[in-house]
């Protein structure tokens, strides 16, 4: 099986026999939804392939190969009358340079648009009765010439815009101070990008442009374009388009079965691989009306290709092409209230909840000091690092981290917020390895007392309880190359605060399964000052009545959790369970259960 990892050319994918999950049956639906559409999805979800499919379907110059490309696909059974009836112009804003001052970026934009218009003129030269005149510095003049040439034919123009917000987002995220000025030069007043979209709007009013399909990640740029381009319909939340990009679990399961057969593996290996993929890659929901989540396309193809080539799961579940998404979290952490939102998302309690997704917000809104958390949470949703996760009893939308590979990005950013020193982090990881390999929790507790608690004392956290302590342990213990970490979603949220189950493909190594339950005792509850707590020995701390009560409660829960996990995983489990009681942000008392 040939997996199209990194391939976004639809013609190449179909004609060269790559794996392709047919989405051509949605073409009639897309036509019915409107003539100017905006489809938003996170990075690496297959948006470029979607546009390539539309390009091949509608391009008048590709009519001769319709049967070869679409003959075996769903749309061939009932093609729409519009197939191969358009000139197609495609712009990809991800290739527009986002560096330099505002004038340099504007030049880059016009140079790129001119280059695409020139390619259009060459490609369709046999179908165009008049030449297209290129203005050397003003691509909008060139665009008008293109429209004039198109109007002299029996066809109309279909404009495809890929990653419409990419270079503008890169500008504002590159440096929040200087980037904002360059961004405003593009979008405020008669900014260059706004002017481009005003020209698109004007062209669609009988000037030769019939249809526009735009993809992007977030509505931020679209909001700032509103006065110049307010005619497009956003279709991102349409339930019937939920899996237009991305894979469903039955599709993933079918491919895994084929790989297991080709690798001559027992069927249970396929079941294990599906559980692993579900835990690390599944979980994206883009409509409140759809229960079944979808898989990120790029991550799924990365796994399937590795699994087929090696007949085992990849060691590193985070494809390096997705690792750059952490930059988005870094950006959010620098916005007002952003760092707290990230820490809240890591904990999951209280849940990140919004009254409704903010789908019209601009850069100025994001940077306001008094802005509601709803804006930042909504932006994290559009970036693909939060997703729809149900509703609160009062009807608010709950946004959750979709899967384990994204949780890793959060944990890394939370660790950076709390322990910016790389050398200090290395010390913590060494202590964590003692727990993985030997079951010794002592070094890790000592590290957290000496390093993390100093940070907690100096910061104003909304939560000061066992969640704070869990965050400290999670940022140091998180290791998705060896464990299924923080696995409440997998275990139906019936187990302890932190569950670390060794990945099925890592059971060959001497790694322990870990179960942790955290309790918190405020210093006033223990009738102690911080200085007094520091002066007590471990034995004296364990003898405190309030600590003993917390330990007893944790012990009782851990015994129940242990039994449930043993039933689920059987004899393969090498489980060690620990109760950890924090006395303020001063001391930790732990015991193995």
The pLDDT of residue 490 is above 50: no
- Asked if residue 452 belongs to a domain, the reply is yes
Question: Are 583 and 528 in contact, with CB atoms under 8 Å apart?
Answer: yes
Whether residue 464 sits in one domain with residue 344: no
The pLDDT of residue 64 is above 70: yes
Phi–psi pair at 573, nearest 5 degrees: -75, 130
- Please, what is the Cα angle at 273 between 290 and 496, to 5 degrees? 75
- Asked if residue 524 belongs to a domain, the reply is yes
- Between CA 278 and CA 317 the distance in angstroms is 12
Q: Which of 374, 409, 444 is the last residue of a domain?
A: 409
User: Averaging pLDDT over each range in 126-130, 319-323, 470-474, which range is the top one?
Assistant: 126-130
Q: Which residues contact 3 (CB under 8 A, 6 or more apart)?
A: 18, 19, 301, 304, 305, 308
Say if strands 483-485 and 397-400 run parallel, antiparallel, or are unpaired.
unpaired
- Tokens read off for 575: 């489980």
- Asked if residue 64 belongs to a domain, the reply is no
Whether residue 508 sits in one domain with residue 451: yes
Q: Which of 52-66, 82-96, 415-429 has the lowest mean pLDDT?
A: 415-429
State how many domains the chain has: 4
Whether residue 161 sits in one domain with residue 50: yes
Helix 249-262 × helix 297-310 angle, to 10°: 10
**Three-state DSSP string of 235-269:** CCCCHHHCCCCCECHHHHHHHHHHHHHHCCCCHHH
In this predicted structure, what is the pLDDT of residue 528? 92
| C-beta contacts of 274-278 below 8 A and 24+ residues apart | 274/249, 275/490, 275/504, 276/313, 276/317, 276/484, 276/503, 276/504, 276/505, 277/252, 277/303, 278/249, 278/490
Whether residue 358 sits in one domain with residue 348: yes
- Tokens read off for 372: 């509601």
Quote the pTM value: 0.88
Q: Which of 193-202, 341-350, 374-383 has the lowest mean pLDDT?
A: 341-350
Quick: pLDDT tens for 72-96: 999 999 999 999 999 999 999 999 8
- Confidence class for position 303, pLDDT limits 50, 70, 90: very high
The pLDDT of residue 116 is above 80: yes
Quick: pLDDT tens for 358-371: 777 666 666 555 55
Q: Which residue has the higher pLDDT, 238 or 340?
A: 238
H or E element in which residue 39 lies: strand 36-40
Helix 297-310 × helix 267-281 angle, to 10°: 150
- Asked if residue 582 belongs to a domain, the reply is yes
CA of 232: how far to CAs of 8, 43, 46, 229, in Å?
25, 21, 21, 7
- Asked if residue 76 belongs to a domain, the reply is no
Nearest residue to 479 via CA among 459, 505, 503 = 503
In this predicted structure, what is the pLDDT of residue 366? 60
- Between CA 190 and CA 198 the distance in angstroms is 10
Whether residue 284 sits in one domain with residue 398: no
- Between CA 299 and CA 307 the distance in angstroms is 12
CB atoms within 10 A of CB 113: 21
User: For residue 345, what are the domain limits?
Assistant: 324-409
Nearest residue to 584 via CA among 544, 526, 536 = 526
Question: Are 565 and 516 in contact, with CB atoms under 8 Å apart?
Answer: no
- Asked if residue 495 belongs to a domain, the reply is yes
Q: What is the DSSP letter of 73?
A: S
- Confidence class for position 60, pLDDT limits 50, 70, 90: very high
- Asked if residue 80 belongs to a domain, the reply is no
In this predicted structure, what is the pLDDT of residue 583? 93
- Tokens read off for 5: 């990892």
Q: What is the DSSP letter of 449?
A: I
In this predicted structure, what is the pLDDT of residue 91? 97
- The mean of the pLDDT values for the chain is 88
The pLDDT of residue 461 is above 50: no
Whether residue 230 sits in one domain with residue 168: yes
The pLDDT of residue 515 is above 60: yes
- Tokens read off for 553: 């409660």
Q: Which residue has the higher pLDDT, 378 or 60?
A: 60
Whether residue 231 sits in one domain with residue 98: yes
Burial of 454 (0-12, 13-18, 19+ CB in 10 A): exposed
- Between CA 176 and CA 400 the distance in angstroms is 26
Whether residue 335 sits in one domain with residue 317: no
Q: Which of 378, 409, 440 is the last residue of a domain?
A: 409
In this predicted structure, what is the pLDDT of residue 174? 64
- Tokens read off for 121: 């003129």
H or E element in which residue 14 lies: helix 10-15
Using left for φ > 0, alpha for ψ between -120 and 50, and beta otherwise, residue 6 falls in left
Quick: pLDDT tens for 395-404: 999 999 998 8
In this predicted structure, what is the pLDDT of residue 219? 85
Q: Whose structure tokens read 């593996």?
A: 265
The pLDDT of residue 266 is above 50: yes
- Confidence class for position 333, pLDDT limits 50, 70, 90: confident
- Asked if residue 145 belongs to a domain, the reply is yes
- Between CA 209 and CA 467 the distance in angstroms is 55
Whether residue 445 sits in one domain with residue 342: no
Quick: pLDDT tens for 211-242: 999 999 988 777 777 666 788 899 999 999 99
User: What is the DSSP track for 396-446?
Assistant: PEEEE--SHHHHHHHHHHHHHHH---HHHHHHHHHHHHHHHHH---HHHHH
Task: Write down the H helix ranges in 225-372.
Answer: 249-262, 267-281, 297-310, 320-323, 326-333, 338-347, 363-367
Whether residue 434 sits in one domain with residue 581: yes
Strand 483-485's sheet: what is its strand order?
Answer: 483-485, 498-502, 513-521, 575-583, 587-592
Whether residue 317 sits in one domain with residue 329: no
What is the chain's Cα-based Rg?
Answer: 27
Nearest residue to 565 via CA among 556, 575, 557, 578 = 575
Quick: pLDDT tens for 167-198: 777 776 665 555 566 777 676 666 788 889 99
Whether residue 267 sits in one domain with residue 204: no
H or E element in which residue 377 lies: helix 373-382
Q: Which of 322, 340, 359 is the last residue of a domain?
A: 322
Say if strands 233-234 and 36-40 run parallel, antiparallel, or are unpaired.
parallel
Rounded-to-10 torsion of CA 438, 441, 443, 449? 170
CATH number of the CATH domain containing 133: 3.40.50
Q: Whose structure tokens read 């050398």?
A: 423
Quick: pLDDT tens for 148-160: 999 999 999 999 9
- Tokens read off for 455: 């940070």
Stretch 264-291: mean pLDDT, rounded?
92
Say if strands 575-583 and 587-592 run parallel, antiparallel, or are unpaired.
antiparallel
Q: What is the DSSP letter of 311?
A: S
Question: Are 561 and 495 in contact, with CB atoms under 8 Å apart?
Answer: yes
In this predicted structure, what is the pLDDT of residue 375? 78
């Amino acid at each position: 099986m040939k997996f199209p990892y990194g391939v976004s050319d639809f013609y190449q994918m179909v004609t060269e026999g790559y794996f392709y999950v047919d989405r051509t049956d949605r073409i009639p639906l897309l036509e019915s939804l409107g003539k100017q559409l905006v489809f938003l999805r996170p990075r690496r979800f297959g948006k470029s392939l979607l546009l390539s499919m539309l390009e091949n379907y509608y391009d008048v110059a590709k009519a001769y190969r319709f049967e070869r490309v679409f003959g075996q696909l769903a749309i061939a059974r009932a093609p729409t009358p519009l197939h191969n009836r358009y000139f197609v112009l495609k712009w990809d804003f991800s290739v527009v340079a986002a560096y330099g001052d505002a004038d340099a970026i504007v030049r880059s934009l016009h140079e790129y648009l001119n280059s695409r218009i020139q390619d259009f003129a060459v490609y369709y030269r046999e179908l165009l009765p008049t030449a297209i005149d290129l203005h050397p510095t003003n691509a909008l003049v060139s665009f008008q010439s293109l429209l004039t040439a198109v109007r002299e034919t029996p066809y109309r123009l279909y404009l495809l815009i890929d990653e419409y917000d990419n270079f503008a987002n890169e500008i504002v995220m590159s440096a929040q101070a200087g980037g904002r000025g360059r961004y405003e030069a593009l979008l405020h007043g008669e900014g260059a990008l706004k002017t481009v979209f005003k020209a698109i709007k004007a062209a669609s009013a009988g000037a030769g442009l019939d249809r526009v399909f735009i993809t992007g990640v977030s509505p931020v740029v679209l909001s700032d374009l509103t006065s110049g381009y307010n005619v497009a319909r956003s279709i991102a939340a349409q339930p019937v388009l939920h899996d237009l990009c991305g894979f469903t679990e039955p599709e993933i399961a079918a491919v895994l079965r084929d790989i297991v057969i080709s690798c001559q593996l027992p069927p249970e290996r396929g079941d294990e691989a599906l559980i692993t993929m579900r835990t690390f890659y599944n979980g994206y929901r883009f409509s409140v009306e759809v229960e079944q989540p979808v898989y990120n396309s790029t991550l799924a193809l990365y796994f399937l290709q590795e699994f087929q080539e090696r007949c085992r799961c990849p060691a590193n579940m985070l494809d390096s092409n997705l690792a750059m998404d952490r930059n988005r979290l870094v950006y959010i952490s620098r916005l007002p209230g952003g760092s707290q939102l990230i820490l809240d998302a890591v904990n999951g309690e209280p849940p990140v909840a919004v009254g409704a997704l903010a789908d019209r917000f601009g850069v100025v809104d994001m940077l306001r000091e008094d802005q509601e958390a709803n804006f930042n949470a909504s932006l994290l949703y559009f970036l693909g690092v939060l997703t729809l996760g149900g509703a609160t009893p009062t009807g608010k939308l709950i946004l959750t981290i979709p899967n384990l590979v994204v949780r890793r990005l959060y944990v890394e950013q939370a660790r950076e917020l709390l322990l910016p020193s790389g050398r200090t982090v290395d010390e913590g990881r060494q202590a964590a390895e003692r727990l993985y390999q030997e079951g010794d929790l002592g070094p890790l507790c000592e590290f957290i007392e000496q390093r993390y608690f100093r940070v907690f004392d100096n910061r104003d956290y909304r939560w000061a309880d066992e969640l704070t302590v869990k965050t400290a342990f999670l940022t140091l213990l998180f290791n998705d190359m060896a464990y299924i970490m923080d696995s409440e979603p997998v275990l139906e949220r019936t187990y302890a605060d932190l569950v670390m189950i060794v990945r099925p493909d890592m059971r060959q190594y001497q790694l322990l399964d870990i179960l942790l339950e955290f309790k918190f005792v405020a210093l006033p509850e223990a009738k102690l000052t911080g200085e007094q707590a520091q002066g007590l020995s471990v034995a004296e701390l364990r003898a405190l009545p309030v600590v003993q009560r917390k330990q007893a409660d944790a012990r009782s829960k851990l015994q129940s959790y242990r039994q449930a996990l043993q039933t689920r995983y059987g004899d393969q489990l090498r489980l060690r369970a620990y109760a950890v009681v924090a006395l303020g942000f001063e001391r930790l008392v732990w015991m193995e259960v």
